[in-house]
C-alpha cells in the first residue's frame, strides 16, 4: 500500500494529491511512511503541474485535482484513504479518487462558499458546512442528501464526527459548538464556547471529550458527564 498525502492549493482553485513513489527498494504493496518531522518539500511550478522534490530520499508524484471554479477552502481524506473531499468558495463539495485523482461526483451544493468538510469514521457519510452556517450531511456512495442541519447563526469553521459515528460536532463563529444526531439529523446539544468563535475541534478517542481552538489565544475542553 502506498502512502498518500494531500496538498491543498488555493491558487488556481486546484487541489493536488501527492503520492509517494516506490523508489526506496521496497515492494509496491509495502507502506512507506515519511517521518512527521521531515521538512516540507520545496516546490516549483512547471506549466500547469507543480513538481515536488524529494523528502528523506523518497520522491512524490503530484496529481492536480482540477474542477473547482473558485478557491479550495476545505479538504479531508476518507478513513480508508480511498477518497478525498474538497470544498470551495464555488459552493460545491467534490469527491475525488485518491489513487487516480479523477473526480467521482459533485455533492449537494450549498448557497454559500464551503468552509469545512469531514468524513464519518466508516466512510459512508460526509458533512459539509458553509459561510452562512448551513450544514449538509450526504452519502459518499451516491451523493444523496441525508440531512440539512439548521441551527448555527454564523459561518461553520470546523466539523468532526465522533469516533462511533453517532454524533457530528460543528464549531462556528456564532460562539457555539453544536452536537447533532447523525441518524435523524436532530440537534442534541449546544455547547457555548468562552465568548469566542470555535475555529477547530477534535474528539477524544473515547468520544467522551471534545477539545477545541477558539479565538483570542484560547482553547477549550468539554467533558461528557456520566
> In percent, how much of the chain has pLDDT > 90?
56
Are 117 and 86 contacting, i.e. CB atoms less than 8 angstroms apart? yes
The alpha carbon of 171 is separated from its chain's Cα centroid by a whole number of angstroms, namely 14
Contact indicator for 139, 124 with CB cutoff of 8 Å? yes
DSSP state of 13: G
- Residue range 167-203, pLDDT digits in tens: 999 999 998 999 999 999 999 999 877 777 889 999 9
Which helix (H) or strand (E) covers residue 126, if one does? strand 125-130
35-44, 69-78, 91-100: lowest mean pLDDT where? 35-44
Are 84 and 94 in contact, with CB atoms under 8 Å apart? Answer: no
Parallel, antiparallel or unpaired: strands 209-214 and 198-203: antiparallel
Average pLDDT of the chain? 80
Is the pLDDT reported for residue 1 higher than 70?
no
Q: Kindly report the number of other CB atoms within 10 A of residue 63's CB atom.
A: 20
pLDDT at 35 over 80: no
Degrees (nearest 5) of the Cα angle 181, 185, 189? 45
Return the residue matching grid coordinates 509496491. 28
Distance CA 133, CA 80 (A): 28
User: What is the reported pLDDT for 26?
Assistant: 36
Candidates 84, 80, 174, 77; CA nearest to 135 is 174
Homologous superfamily of the 67-223 domain (CATH): YVTN repeat-like/Quinoprotein amine dehydrogenase (2.130.10.10)
Summarize the confidence of residues 2-28 as an average pLDDT.
48
Per-domain residue ranges for the chain? 1-66, 67-223
Check: pTM over 0.85? Answer yes or no: no
- What are 2's three cell numbers? 502506498
Confidence bin at 27 (pLDDT 50/70/90): very low
Amino acid at each position: 500500500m502506498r502512502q498518500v498525502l494531500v496538498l491543498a492549493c488555493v491558487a488556481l482553485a486546484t487541489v493536488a494529491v501527492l503520492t509517494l513513489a516506490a523508489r526506496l527498494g521496497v515492494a509496491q504493496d509495502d507502506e512507506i511512511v515519511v517521518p512527521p518531522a521531515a521538512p516540507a518539500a520545496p516546490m516549483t511550478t512547471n506549466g500547469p503541474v507543480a513538481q515536488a522534490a524529494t523528502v528523506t530520499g523518497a520522491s512524490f508524484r503530484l496529481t492536480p485535482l482540477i474542477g473547482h471554479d473558485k478557491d479550495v477552502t476545505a479538504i479531508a481524506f476518507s478513513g480508508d484513504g480511498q477518497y478525498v473531499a474538497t470544498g470551495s468558495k464555488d459552493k460545491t463539495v467534490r469527491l475525488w479518487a485518491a489513487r487516480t485523482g479523477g473526480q467521482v461526483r459533485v455533492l449537494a451544493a450549498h448557497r454559500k462558499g464551503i468552509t469545512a468538510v469531514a468524513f464519518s469514521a466508516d466512510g459512508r457519510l460526509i458533512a459539509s458546512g458553509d459561510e452562512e452556517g448551513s450544514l449538509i450531511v450526504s452519502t459518499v456512495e451516491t451523493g444523496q442528501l441525508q440531512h440539512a442541519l439548521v441551527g448555527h447563526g454564523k459561518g461553520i469553521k470546523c466539523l468532526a464526527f465522533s469516533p462511533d459515528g453517532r454524533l457530528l460536532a460543528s464549531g462556528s463563529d456564532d460562539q457555539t459548538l453544536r452536537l447533532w444526531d447523525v441518524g435523524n439529523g436532530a440537534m442534541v446539544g449546544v455547547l457555548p464556547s468562552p465568548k469566542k468563535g470555535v475555529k477547530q475541534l477534535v474528539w477524544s478517542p473515547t468520544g467522551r471529550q471534545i477539545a477545541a481552538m477558539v479565538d483570542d489565544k484560547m482553547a477549550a475542553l468539554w467533558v461528557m458527564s456520566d
